A and B are shown apart, each in its own frame.
Chain A
Amino acid sequence: MDQSPAIRLVDLKKRFRLQHHPVTTLKAAAANFWKRRWEDLWALNGVTLDVGRGQTLAVIGRNGSGKSTLLGLLGRVYLPTSGLVEVNGRVAALLELGAGFHPDLTGEQNVLLNGVILGMREREVRGHLDPIIRYAELEHFRDAPLRSYSAGMIMRLGFSVAVFTDPEILLIDEVLAVGDEAFQRKCLKEIRRFQDSGRTIVFVSHDIDTVREVAGRVVWIHEGSVRADGATEQVLGEYLDFAAQQAAAEAQA
């Protein structure tokens, strides 16, 4: 049995260049060639973290604290500026509503496309086509263009594809907040099943109830660094105290 952690981060740093006057045209690039000004924004400033196999880790923090950057680095959307990202196992990101879907394609065609985008071979997706569509409860809409789907249906389809890519590590960025009550319950149930099979989940959420229900461990990211890391209730308690203090301070000012 491989004892290495599912995810290992060592002194991970990520810098974004924040331009004062964003250059978005060639014209501006030529005009400002000699006076380009930017500010370094350290979205992550030295994060060291191990996530063991089978753990469910929730990442919390205020907006702009670096949570999504962390998830982006895990999903290889960004390269780290410095430090180490080691991910052992197949990763799948649960995509936002309809990302990677095309409105003119049918449900089935979209499943095929989305599956390969998530890194599956085409014949793997074909082999899972029926179960994916059945799981999303969209058998009747299989050949209908995605345009005719409701938001909840698109969500179901996307979730279903991600589940069937059979990842060892699942990354979830605030996706569970959408969808109706019944679908959220179904998602949570699926996440349970995922946890029970010993796989690793890293998710970002603002929803304290979801975190409480699902996570076995919580990491609180504050201004690009880990502020607290530990058992769910303990970290959530610290975080909520901090948030209350902030709110009180803002109310006074």
Chain B
Amino acid sequence: MLGDLKELWNYRDLVKSLVVRDLTVRYKNSVLGFFWSLANPLVQVATITIIFKYVLAIGIPNYSAYVLCAFLPWMFFQLSLSDAGESVLRQYDLLRKVYFPREALTIASVIANLIHLALALGVFFIYLLALGVAVEPGWLLLPVCVLFNFFLVLGLAFFVSALSVFYEDMRYLVNVATNLFFYCCPIIYVSEQILFSSKIPAGLRERIWEVYHWNPMATFIEGYRQLLLPRFTGAGITDVPLDWRHIALAGVVSFVLMVAGYAFFNSRKWRFAERS
């Protein structure tokens, strides 16, 4: 693996150029392109807000901010994995003709999505300031949260892109799995609802709460919310600060997944060009 990393370092300009290509193509050399790519989450968030505010009446003030704050990292997660499936396959003809570290394709596609997340978070900051949210020192921790979120997504992207080369139906599986996973993350709800749910027996709440945090993405999303937004109260739920054990678990799991994903990708990459 060290040899692979060294080789990747020699090709670092390739990763950079592929990122630039991805962003240029996606935004078609225009600023409007970026706003178009924000349109999808904004429409979803608007819909969710209206439903929760007026139909389901959840009663947490500024609920849209909480949903949007979770939606941006979720878009990063989902788009990165669906792009990862395509990242190697789209360059398949090239792969059979010329050598370069294949992982550059996957890494570049995740980094392109990461830059997109950063831009979206930038817009979100402006939105927060417009709402009158005070600037907090906790915002400085945001890059750490983003970094570990990146490790998690990159690790999964390695698995997805390597398997997509050999199995055509991988993208359907990824699609179904991410749709299901959406509900395992606190996006349209807040995770504290588990702790305050009247439907779950009191003895089980704590245990479910623990198992729920085996999912690093859930912890990250809570992290984004707690770092960026004020504590929420309402609807009989109070904000529970993140537990250090959960943060440590999410960090370790994400890092291990990245290393494991890279090892898996490397064990397969020489067979990409030999696919029957």
Please give the distance in Å from B3's CB to the nearest CB on chain A: 13
* The stretch of B72-80, B91-99, B184-192 that contacts the partner chain: B91-99
**Does B24 touch A at the CB level, under 8 Å?**
yes
| CB–CB B273/A77 < 8 A | yes
Chain B interface size, under 10 / 10 to 19 / 20 to 34 / 35 or more: 20 to 34
Total number of A-B contacts with CB less than 8 angstroms? 86
Knowing A18-B276, A25-B169 are in contact, say whether A93-B97 is a contact too (CB < 8 A).
Answer: yes
Expressed in whole angstroms, the minimum distance between the Cβ of A134 and any Cβ of chain B is 22
A216 within 8 A of B: no
Whether A100 contacts B94 in the complex (CB less than 8 A), given A105-B24, A105-B25, A117-B14, comes out as: yes
- Point out the residues of chain B lying under 8 angstroms from A95, CB to CB: 94, 97-98
Q: Of B14, B25, B99, which is within 8 A of A102 by CB?
A: B25
For A26, what are the chain B residues with a Cβ–Cβ distance below 8 Å? 163, 167, 169-170, 173
Q: Which of A108-116, A204-212, A233-241 contacts its partner?
A: A108-116
Q: Shortest distance in angstroms between B85's beta carbon and chain A's nearest beta carbon? A: 12
- Interface-forming stretch among B15-23, B50-58, B119-127, B258-266? B15-23
C-alpha spacing A113/B11, complex, angstroms: 12
B270's closest neighbor in chain A, by CB?
A79
Cβ < 8 Å to B, chain A residues 79-133: 79, 91, 93, 95-96, 99-100, 102, 104-105, 109, 112-113, 116-122
**Which residue of B has the minimal Cβ distance to A29?**
B167
27 contacts between A and B (CB under 8 A): A16-B276, A17-B274, A19-B276, A22-B276, A24-B167, A24-B168, A25-B169, A27-B169, A77-B95, A77-B96, A78-B270, A78-B273, A78-B274, A93-B97, A93-B98, A93-B99, A95-B94, A100-B98, A102-B25, A104-B24, A105-B21, A112-B17, A116-B17, A117-B94, A119-B100, A121-B13, A122-B16
Additional pairs, 12, CB under 8 Å, beyond known A102-B25, A118-B98: A16-B274, A19-B276, A23-B166, A25-B169, A26-B163, A77-B97, A93-B98, A95-B98, A109-B21, A113-B18, A113-B21, A117-B98
Question: A-contacting residues of B (Cβ < 8 Å)?
Answer: 11, 13-14, 16-18, 21, 24-25, 28, 91, 93-100, 163, 166-170, 173, 270, 273-274, 276
Interface residues of A (CB under 8 A from B): 16-19, 22-27, 29, 72, 75-79, 91, 93, 95-96, 99-100, 102, 104-105, 109, 112-113, 116-122, 173
